[in-house]
Structure 1
Amino acid sequence: MIRHSGGVSYPRIEADTTPLTARPTSPRPPEPPEPKRRRRGGKFAGVTLLLLALPVIALTGLRAVGFDQQKHAAAAIALTPYALPAAALLAVLTLLFRRWLLAIVLVLCTALLAFIVLPRAFVKARPIAVGAQVRVLSVNLLFGRADPAFVVNLVRDTKADVLSLQELTPESVTALERAGLNQELPFRVLEPADGAAGTGIASRHPLTRIVLGRPPAPGAFAQPAALVNLPGPRSLEIMAVHPRIPVGPEGAEPWLRDLGTLPEPRTEGPARVLAGDFNATLDHSPLRRLLGQGYLDAADQAGAGLTPTWPGVGAGLIPPPVTLDHVLVDKRCPVDRFDVFEIPGSDHRSILATITVPSAGP
C-alpha cells in the first residue's frame, strides 16, 4: 500500500516484466488438411485405361521375348505394327488422366515398338554391286482361283524374270498355259497339288531343279528350288516358299517346322533368293532368324516393310491387313525397287522385287 499525507491509501500496482515470448498463449487451432487432389475421370477412367492397355502391353511383351510357338501368340504378334499407334495413344491418355505408373509402362512400350517398327518405313543404304537386274514376282493363287489372264498380263507388264507361284493346282497350271504364261516364262519347275499344297517356279531364263534346305517335314507344302541361269557369268538360286499356317488345327508346330527347313543365305557362289507366302511377318521369330543369318527383306530394304499383303483390298478390317509375303535376298543383292499389286481372285497381293544379281564368286 502507498500512503499519502492526506491519509488515503492506494493499492500498489506492479508491472508484469515477463517477456512476451514466455507468456502462455492459447493453442492455435489446427489448420484444415489440404483437400486430396482427385484424378481426372475417377475410378471408371482408370479401369478403362487399364483394360485397354493390357492387350498392348501383353503384345509388346510377346514380341520382345519372341514367343510365337503357340498359335494365338503367333497370330497376335502379326499385329505388332498396330500396337505402336495404340501404345502411343494410350500413353498420352494416361498422362492426361494422371495414371503415372501405367503411363510410364506405356511410354516404354511405345519406345520399344517404335524402335522395332519404324525403320521398316525408311529406305536402307544400298550396297554397291554391278550385275544383272532381275525382277522376282510372287503370286499366291488362292487354291488356283486367281485370274490367270491377269497374272500373265502382270508378268508381261512388269517384265518379270522369275515367278514364284503358291497354291498352284493342276487346273491353274492349265489355265495359266492357256493365258500365255509359257510364251512369257517358258522354263518351269512346277509341283502342282490340290488345295494349297502346290507350288512352282517359272522363269524367262533356263532353270535347273536343285534341292535347298533340309528335307521337308511330313505333310508340308511343296517348296521347290531351282538354279536360274542368267545371261553372262551369273546365276541365281531361288526357292518358292509356302509354309503351313501357324493357326491351323495342329497349332504353330507345322509352321515352325516348315520355316525351319529353309536354307541359310550364301556368301559365295550363286546368289540365293527365297520368294513366296511365308505366312509370317517381320515380327515372327522364324523370319527374324533368317534375317539374322544374313538375308535381307526386299520390302524392308526399299522402305515398304509396312505394306500389307494379306488380305487384299476389299476384305475389310477383320482380320487387319498384315505383311505375309516376302522376297528374301542375300546381302550381295541390292534391292532396287519393290512393288505390290492386287490380284483378282486371290486373297493375297502379289509382290515384285527388282534386285541386282552380281557375278558369281568362287
Structure 2
Amino acid sequence: MRGRPTGLARAGITTAGAVALLLPEAFGLDRTPPWPIVTAFRRRLAVGTAAGALAVGVRPGPWRASAIAVSTVAAGALGLSVHRHRARPEPVGAGAEPLSVLGANVWLGRADPAALATTIAAERPDVVVLPEAGDPFRKRLLDGLEGYRGWSCAPGRAAVEAAGADDGPCLTVLTAARLGEVDVRVVSADTRSGWVVVSGGGLGAVRVLGVHPAVLLPDTTPDWVRELSLLHPWLADPARPTIVVGDLNATLEHGPLQDALGDARPVTRRVAATWPSWWRRSIGVTIDHVLVSGAIHVRSVEVLDVPGSDHRAVLARFTR
C-alpha cells in the first residue's frame, strides 16, 4: 500500500493546482477551454484563494506548507493582474478638439431602442458602435433619433450595407451629422460579425474601428484568439491615431488581448463591470472596451446602463 503524500509532495500538488487555476499561462493553458473563462475572474479567484490559504496557514498542521505555497501563487496572480491593468503613458502633443465614442452591445437587438436613443441624444457621441445590431435595430433606433446616420453590416460581407443585415452576429455604426461625410467600410470580413472602420470627414486623422470578436465558448475559442490578434495591426501604428470600440469578449486579464494591445492604451482599464448587466457593477467583468493609440488624449470614460441589454455601454471622451 502506498503511504500518504509527504508534506513536500502535498505542497507540490496543491501549488501546481493553484498555478493551473490562477496562472494558466505557466502551463500554456490560457488559450485552451475552459481556462480563458476562468481567467476572466482571475483577480477574484486570487483574492479568495489567498484568503482561504492564509486561514489554513496560520494554524500549525500538515497543510501549512501547502497553504503558504498557494498564498504565494495567489500573490503572483494578483501581481500579474495589477500589471495588466496598469496605467500607460498618455501621448504628448494631442490637441484640444473634442471627440467622443459610445459602444453598446444591444443583445441581438433586444435592447430598448427608445431608451438608447435618449442616451445618445443626451450624450451626443460622435461615433456609436453597436455590436449585435443589424438593419432592423438600426431603423428602430434612428426613428427616435435626430442628427445621426447609420450603417449595418453582416458577417462575411465585404461592404457595409444599408439594408439586409439582420440583428444578431452583426454590427451597426452611427455617426453624428457634425462629422460630415465620412468613409464607412467593412474590414476583416472573415470575422464572425464583420468589423467596420469609420474615417475621414470631421474625424480628421483619427479612425474609429468597431469590433466584436467571437464569443468565448469552448468551440469558438480558436476564433476568439484569431480575431483578437487581428486588432494588433490597427493599434501598432502610432502615426495613425486609432480608437477601437466594441464588445471584445475579453478582459485585460487575457493574454490574447494583451498581445493585441502592444503600446496602445485601454481606456476601460478601471471602469465598472459591463457584463452581465443584471449583476452588480462590482461583481461582473469588463469585456466591452475602448482602446486608443496615437495622439489622442483621454478626458473621461464611464459605464452607462442600456435597458433591455445584457451589457452596459461605455462612453469615452477625448481630445485630439
Q: What TM-score does the superposition give when structure 1 sets the normalisation length?
A: 0.72
Tell me the amino acid that sits aligned with residue 242 of structure 2.
Answer: R
Give the Cα separation in 2 of the matches to 1:224 and 1:355. Answer: 20
Equivalent position of 2:264 in the other structure: 295
Equivalent position of 1:208 in the other structure: 183
Query: Would the alpha carbon gap of residues 216 and 81 (structure 1) be closer, same or farther in structure 2, given more than 3 Å must change?
Result: same
Q: What CA deviation, in whole Å up to 9, does each residue of 1:69-95 have, x standing for no partner? A: 322111111111212311320232122
Query: Would the alpha carbon gap of residues 310 and 83 (structure 1) be closer, same or farther in structure 2, given more than 3 Å must change?
Result: same
Give the Cα separation in 1 of the matches to 2:311 and 2:90. Answer: 28
SS in 2 for 1:135: strand
Give the Cα separation in 2 of the matches to 1:342 and 1:55. Answer: 38
Q: What TM-score does the superposition give when structure 2 sets the normalisation length?
A: 0.81
Equivalent position of 2:102 in the other structure: 137
Structure 2: gaps (5+ residues): 1-10, 155-164
Q: What CA deviation, in whole Å up to 9, does each residue of 1:19-40 have, x standing for no partner? A: xxxxxxxxxxxxxxxxxxxxxx
Query: Would the alpha carbon gap of residues 65 and 331 (structure 1) be closer, same or farther in structure 2, given more than 3 Å must change?
Result: farther
Q: Which of 48, 53, 56 is the matching residue for 1:86? A: 48
Give the Cα separation in 1 of the matches to 2:217 and 2:317. Answer: 32
Give the Cα separation in 1 of the matches to 2:285 and 2:25. Answer: 15
Equivalent position of 1:221 in the other structure: 193
| Identity level (%) | 24
Give the Cα separation in 2 of the matches to 1:149 and 1:261. Answer: 34
Equivalent position of 2:24 in the other structure: 62
Tell me, yes or no, if the aligned pair for 1:264 and 1:290 is still in contact at 8 Å. Answer: no
Equivalent position of 2:116 in the other structure: 151
Give the Cα separation in 2 of the matches to 1:194 and 1:97. Answer: 60
Equivalent position of 2:310 in the other structure: 347
Equivalent position of 1:328 in the other structure: 291
Greater shift, 194-203 or 279-288, is seen at: 194-203
Equivalent position of 2:143 in the other structure: 178
Structure 1: gaps (5+ residues): 1-48, 358-362
Query: Would the alpha carbon gap of residues 131 and 229 (structure 1) be closer, same or farther in structure 2, given more than 3 Å must change?
Result: farther
Larger Rg: 1
Give the Cα separation in 2 of the matches to 1:264 and 1:299. Answer: 18
How far has the Cα of 1:247 moved from its partner?
0.5
- May I ask how many residue pairs the two structures share in their alignment? 294
How far has the Cα of 1:184 moved from its partner?
3.1
Q: Do residues 110 (structure 1) and 74 (structure 2) align?
A: yes
Query: Would the alpha carbon gap of residues 74 and 268 (structure 1) be closer, same or farther in structure 2, given more than 3 Å must change?
Result: closer
SS in 2 for 1:230: helix
Tell me, yes or no, if the aligned pair for 2:195 and 2:210 is still in contact at 8 Å. Answer: yes
Query: Would the alpha carbon gap of residues 336 and 95 (structure 1) be closer, same or farther in structure 2, given more than 3 Å must change?
Result: same
Tell me the amino acid that sits aligned with residue 198 of structure 1.
Answer: C
Give the Cα separation in 2 of the matches to 1:78 and 1:353. Answer: 23
The RMSD of aligned alpha carbons is 3.0
Equivalent position of 1:163 in the other structure: 128
SS in 1 for 2:52: helix
Tell me the amino acid that sits aligned with residue 226 of structure 2.
Answer: R
SS in 2 for 1:351: strand
Tell me, yes or no, if the aligned pair for 1:135 and 1:160 is still in contact at 8 Å. Answer: yes
SS in 2 for 1:335: strand
How far has the Cα of 1:165 moved from its partner?
0.7
Tell me, yes or no, if the aligned pair for 1:229 and 1:236 is still in contact at 8 Å. Answer: no
